[in-house]
């Protein structure tokens, strides 16, 4: 069945490891089930729902929503690519003043939830905000209606604001690749007289492309998941229409139908991108874990590099973070910190930490063995397991409830049989539901990062290890995990911070009396004074900083070791 020569030789070798295959298949199946079960319950809703609403949706809702969504995603993509890739390339390839600080400041906007960024920028840039108030004072206008000012609550405003806080997905994945990709390529190119731009355009960028696509996909899916910022800024996205179809148009079935259609489109786009990439795969043959030597920049070039790196940090982090800090101080929130907020902080960090560990385990256990012991169904299973990120949080949560409750009902039937007592909702009514929900939603990050990282590891490594008789787990532990460490740390950070700020699933699925930082902010926002939640927002940021710093230090440790 398999050819016995060249690359496929490895696959031939793998046939001799049925136990490994079963193990890797089981893990992939479990990971896929986490998504397949909620999707199945959504499908049940979609099928049960009638289709009477569709003529109305097609006539008045979806065309506009599709256009707005496409424009928003395009805008966010432009901002995220500009703000993510250039700084990633600069900090990975060059030495300039402030590089080290900027390198770890650049991912920090990740810790700022999109809806918080939207609130902050509306506060600053709306007619009543400091900017327009100053303009009126300077030019002698009396009201906000007498002059034109770009409206922050608009499609353009949303693209800019969301782009400025999701670009780190692109930055982090690109940077990890720029940093570890073969130095010999870039050096060879430059020795041969290639300009910097040519080196970037023809060598560094194509090598980093799989990772950049993973990052950009995460950024865009995060945009697609957002409801708070879109609603607040008045952008009628598809996700928002799913919501209004459910809540106002009174059709949960219709909402499930739109959600599944949206998921189908997203999945198709991701699959198309993957198949487009297959032909030009640059699976590393020469990669040897060398860290690129950074070229020193001087004078104008250094100043420009600092500027390019500082702008995203300023708008994505310093301004919103500074605004939150100012509000927290002004309102005496820091001096009079509420104990409930500290509980929320502990809860949030605990949940995020557990979920991150689970997600990483799923990513490693599902993706790596499948490379070493490939099974035909492996790829589609992993593709299913990666779909969680493409389903808006509230929709995924709704879909998860019923399989969780079904498991609980089985547990209750068992418990009744054994002890005669009901045990209640063991899964659906506890924080286990949240961990499962986070895992379902964020597994794709770990799987995607591991898969992208694996394409950088030459298959020759596996082959020679195999020839020396090593099994799947030793190869995983001794070859792949060390090589994947930077990418995995990046994934861990993304997942951890995503869990810290996750709102829609947490709101709907958390147990009684449990509050996270994100849900605390939400409590204030619904009362029309989100600034009173400024400290909770800052705590999300603070909790996100240590892992960021940890991540940024990691490659440097490697450098010192060599």
Q: Which of residues 100-139 bind other proteins (CB under 8 A)?
A: 122, 126-128, 132-133
Residue 281 CB-density burial (10 A; 0-12 exposed, 13-18 middle, 19+ buried): exposed
**Residue 350 in contact with other proteins, rule: CB under 8 A:** yes
**Residue 347 in contact with other proteins, rule: CB under 8 A:** yes
Buried b (16+ CB within 10 A) or exposed e, 320-350: bbebbbebbeebebeeeeeeebeebbebbbe
Q: Which residue is it, tokens 């599902």?
A: 366
Binding part of the chain for other proteins, among 188-196, 429-437, 445-453, 490-498 by CB under 8 A, reads 429-437
In angstroms, what is the minimal distance from the CB of 144 to other proteins? 4
Overall residue count recorded for the chain in this entry:
562
Chain centroid to CA 135: 38
**Residue 66 in contact with other proteins, rule: CB under 8 A:** no
**Residue 335 in contact with other proteins, rule: CB under 8 A:** no
**Residue 56 in contact with other proteins, rule: CB under 8 A:** yes
**Residue 405 in contact with other proteins, rule: CB under 8 A:** yes
Interacting residues with other proteins between 262 and 321 (CB under 8 A): none
Binding part of the chain for other proteins, among 29-37, 366-374, 438-446, 526-534 by CB under 8 A, reads 526-534
**Residue 529 in contact with other proteins, rule: CB under 8 A:** yes
**Residue 422 in contact with other proteins, rule: CB under 8 A:** yes
Interacting residues with other proteins between 148 and 167 (CB under 8 A): 151, 153-154
In angstroms, what is the minimal distance from the CB of 234 to other proteins? 3
For 234, 358, 373, 388, the CA distances from 36, given in Å and listed in that order, are: 33, 18, 23, 9
- Going 110 to 114 to 115 to 120, the CA torsion angle's sign is positive
In angstroms, what is the minimal distance from the CB of 334 to other proteins? 13
Residues 462, 479: contact at Cβ < 8 Å?
A: yes
CB closer to other proteins out of 100 and 249: 249
Among 9, 13, 361, 507, binds other proteins (CB under 8 A): 507
Rounded CA separation 181/486 (Å)? 12
Q: Which of 208, 214, 219, 217 has the alpha carbon at shortest distance from 164?
A: 219
In angstroms, what is the minimal distance from the CB of 256 to other proteins? 11
Interacting residues with other proteins between 174 and 213 (CB under 8 A): none
Q: Among the residues of 468-513, which ranges form H helices?
A: 472-475, 481-501, 504-509
**Residue 326 in contact with other proteins, rule: CB under 8 A:** no
CB closer to other proteins out of 233 and 450: 233
Rounded CA separation 476/470 (Å)? 10
CB closer to other proteins out of 394 and 457: 394
Q: How many chain residues are in contact with other proteins, going by CB under 8 A?
A: 82
Among 70, 342, 414, 550, binds other proteins (CB under 8 A): 342
Binding part of the chain for other proteins, among 107-115, 274-282, 308-316, 390-398 by CB under 8 A, reads 390-398
Q: Which of 176, 131, 165 has the alpha carbon at shortest distance from 151?
A: 131
> How many CB atoms neighbour CB 84 within 10 A?
28
In angstroms, what is the minimal distance from the CB of 543 to other proteins? 11
CB closer to other proteins out of 233 and 540: 233
Binding part of the chain for other proteins, among 95-103, 173-181, 483-491, 524-532 by CB under 8 A, reads 524-532
**Angle at 426 (CA atoms; ends 422, 428), nearest 5 degrees:** 120
Among 524, 542, 545, 553, binds other proteins (CB under 8 A): 524
Interacting residues with other proteins between 210 and 249 (CB under 8 A): 231-234, 236, 243-244, 246-249
Buried b (16+ CB within 10 A) or exposed e, 190-202: eeeebebeebbee
List the structure tokens of 255.
Answer: 């909402």
List the structure tokens of 54.
Answer: 């569709």
In angstroms, what is the minimal distance from the CB of 43 to other proteins? 15
With residue 550 as reference, give the H or E element that holds it. Answer: helix 534-561
In angstroms, what is the minimal distance from the CB of 44 to other proteins? 12
Rounded CA separation 49/250 (Å)? 11
**Residue 51 in contact with other proteins, rule: CB under 8 A:** no
In angstroms, what is the minimal distance from the CB of 540 to other proteins? 16
Q: Among the residues of 279-318, which ranges form H helices?
A: 299-313
Among 93, 182, 204, 394, binds other proteins (CB under 8 A): 394
Helix and strand counts by DSSP (H, E) for the chain: 26, 2
């Amino acid at each position: 069945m398999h050819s016995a020569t060249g690359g496929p030789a490895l696959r031939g070798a793998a046939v001799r490891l049925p136990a490994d295959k079963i193990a890797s298949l089981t893990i992939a199946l479990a990971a896929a089930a986490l998504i397949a079960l909620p999707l199945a319950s959504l499908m049940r809703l979609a099928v049960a729902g009638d289709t009477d609403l569709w003529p109305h949706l097609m006539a008045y809702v979806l065309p506009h929503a599709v256009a707005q969504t496409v424009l928003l995603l395009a805008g966010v993509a432009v901002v995220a690519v500009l703000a993510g890739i250039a700084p990633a390339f600069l900090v990975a390839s060059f030495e300039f003043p402030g590089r080290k600080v900027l390198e770890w400041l650049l991912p920090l906007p990740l810790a700022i939830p999109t809806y918080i960024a939207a609130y902050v920028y509306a506060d600053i840039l709306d007619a009543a905000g400091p900017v327009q108030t100053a303009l009126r004072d300077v030019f002698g206008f009396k009201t906000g209606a007498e002059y034109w000012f770009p409206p922050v609550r608009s499609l353009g405003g949303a693209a800019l604001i969301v782009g400025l806080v999701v670009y780190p997905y692109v930055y982090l994945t690109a940077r990890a690749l720029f940093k570890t990709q073969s130095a010999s390529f870039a050096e060879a190119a430059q020795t041969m007289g290639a300009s910097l731009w040519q080196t970037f355009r023809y060598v560094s960028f194509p090598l980093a492309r799989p990772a950049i696509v993973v990052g950009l996909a995460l950024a865009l899916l995060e945009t697609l998941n957002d409801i708070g910022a879109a609603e607040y800024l008045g952008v009628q996205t598809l996700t928002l229409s799913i919501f209004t179809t459910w809540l106002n148009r009174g059709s949960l079935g219709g909402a499930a139908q739109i959600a599944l259609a949206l998921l189908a489109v997203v999945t198709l786009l991701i699959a198309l991108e993957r198949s487009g990439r297959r032909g030009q795969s640059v699976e590393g043959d020469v990669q040897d874990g060398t860290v690129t030597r950074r070229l020193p920049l001087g004078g104008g070039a250094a100043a420009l590099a600092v500027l390019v790196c500082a702008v995203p940090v300023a708008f994505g982090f310093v301004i919103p973070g500074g605004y939150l800090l100012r509000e927290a101080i002004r309102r005496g929130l820091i001096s009079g910190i509420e104990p409930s907020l500290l509980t929320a902080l502990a809860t949030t960090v605990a949940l995020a930490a557990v979920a991150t560990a689970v997600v990483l385990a799923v990513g490693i256990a599902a993706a790596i063995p499948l490379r070493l012991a490939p099974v035909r169904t492996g790829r589609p299973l992993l593709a299913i397991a990666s779909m969680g990120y493409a389903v808006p949080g509230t929709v995924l949560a709704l879909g998860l409830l019923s399989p969780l409750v079904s498991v609980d009902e089985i547990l209750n039937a068992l418990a009744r049989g054994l002890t005669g007592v009901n045990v209640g909702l063991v899964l659906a009514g506890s924080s286990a539901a949240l961990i499962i929900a986070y895992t379902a939603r964020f597994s794709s990050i770990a799987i995607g990062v591991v898969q992208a990282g694996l394409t950088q590891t030459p298959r020759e490594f596996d082959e020679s290890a195999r020839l020396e008789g090593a099994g799947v787990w030793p190869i995983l532990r001794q070859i792949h995990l060390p090589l994947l460490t930077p990418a995995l740390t990046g994934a861990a950070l993304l997942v951890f911070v995503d869990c810290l700020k996750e709102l829609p699933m947490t709101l709907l699925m958390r147990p009684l009396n449990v509050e996270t930082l994100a849900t605390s902010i939400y409590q204030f926002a619904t009362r029309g004074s989100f600034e009173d939640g400024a400290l909770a927002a800052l705590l999300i940021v603070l909790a996100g900083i240590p892992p960021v710093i940890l991540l940024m230090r990691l490659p440097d440790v490697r450098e010192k070791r060599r």
